Amino acid sequence: MGLLLLLLVPILFTVGVAAEVGLSALPSPTSWPLQFHALLFINSSAGNLQSTDLWYDWPNGRNFNIIHNQLKNIVHDLEWTNGTSFYYDLDALTCKTILFEVGILRPDWLVDNSTYLGQQTIDGFTCNVWSKADFIVYYEDVDSNRPVRWVFSSGMVAHVMTFEEGAVLEDSNWQAPAYCFDEQNSMASGEQRMGVDTESVPLGRLLTSLDVLVRNLPWSLKQEYLVHTYLVYQDDMFIAFAMKSAQLLHVQ
């Protein structure tokens, strides 16, 4: 018996170490750069096409989505870390100012609670692939660690056409137009649809919503945020997203 134990201990130790090494060897998603510019081509689940210039600026607490819907006006979705968002159309001279209780998306939003799915070749790139909360599949180029594609459970697909790490939009471009501060565009709390034609929830807001859901926050705050966002957009895909969130988080 003693000899058998002596023989088994090294084997069990080796298996345990191998298992631990195997787990630790799984790739982890790369955190977003603190500042970058990305050009995204997006096909929504409804078949609508858009391109979005995404300017992310974490040190200055701001995120900017400039949304080009096909054959329509350009919509600007300007988000600040204090929870204030401006949605405006410079051609139509329309603007809505909205207060969300949660700020902009964290740089490491994908790192926690993501599931590694292996490698796939997508758009000609060999990618590491992760899913998160059953809502998004995230493809990252193995060689450069840049994002390549995001696929949402709704069917919306975002292709990353360019990704410029360290790119910063000039401060003057972050200023919402003066008419956004007129009385008729005063802060809205989400009791009615805001009337900004974005086709669907903007990508930045959708990703932030996912981040809110998986963070260690009170469910009451998560629920308030989801309802608020739905009331702003009245987007059926988003309410399905919210309902599935409650199921996945085992919230009654």
Give backbone dihedrals phi and psi of 206, rounded to 5 degrees, phi first.
-65, -45
Provide the residue range defining the domain that includes 145. Answer: 26-252
Q: Does the residue 43 lie in any domain?
A: yes
Residue carrying the six token digits 């009170």: 218
Q: Specify the number of domains making up the chain.
A: 1
What pLDDT sits at residue 25?
83
Q: Is residue 19 in some structural domain?
A: no
Classify residue 135: in a domain, yes or no. Answer: yes
Nearest to 68 by CA among 49, 87, 44, 85: 49
Considering the domain boundaries, does residue 17 fall inside one?
no
In a domain, 160, yes or no: yes
For the stretch 9-49, pLDDT in tens is 454 444 444 444 445 588 999 999 999 999 999 987 677 88
Mean pLDDT score across all residues of the chain: 76
Which residues, 6 or more positions from 182, have their beta carbon under 8 angstroms from its beta carbon? Answer: none
Q: What is the pTM of this model?
A: 0.74
CATH number of the domain at 133, please.
Answer: 2.50.20.30
User: Is 20 inside a domain boundary?
Assistant: no
Extended strands (E) in 9-134: 35-43, 49-57, 62-69, 74-80, 84-89, 94-99, 114-122, 125-132
Q: What is the pLDDT of residues 62-98, one digit of tens each?
A: 999 999 988 888 999 999 998 888 989 999 999 988 7
Predicted pLDDT of residue 251: 42
Does 211 score more than 70 pLDDT? no
232 located within any domain: yes
Whether residue 113 is contained in a domain is answered as yes
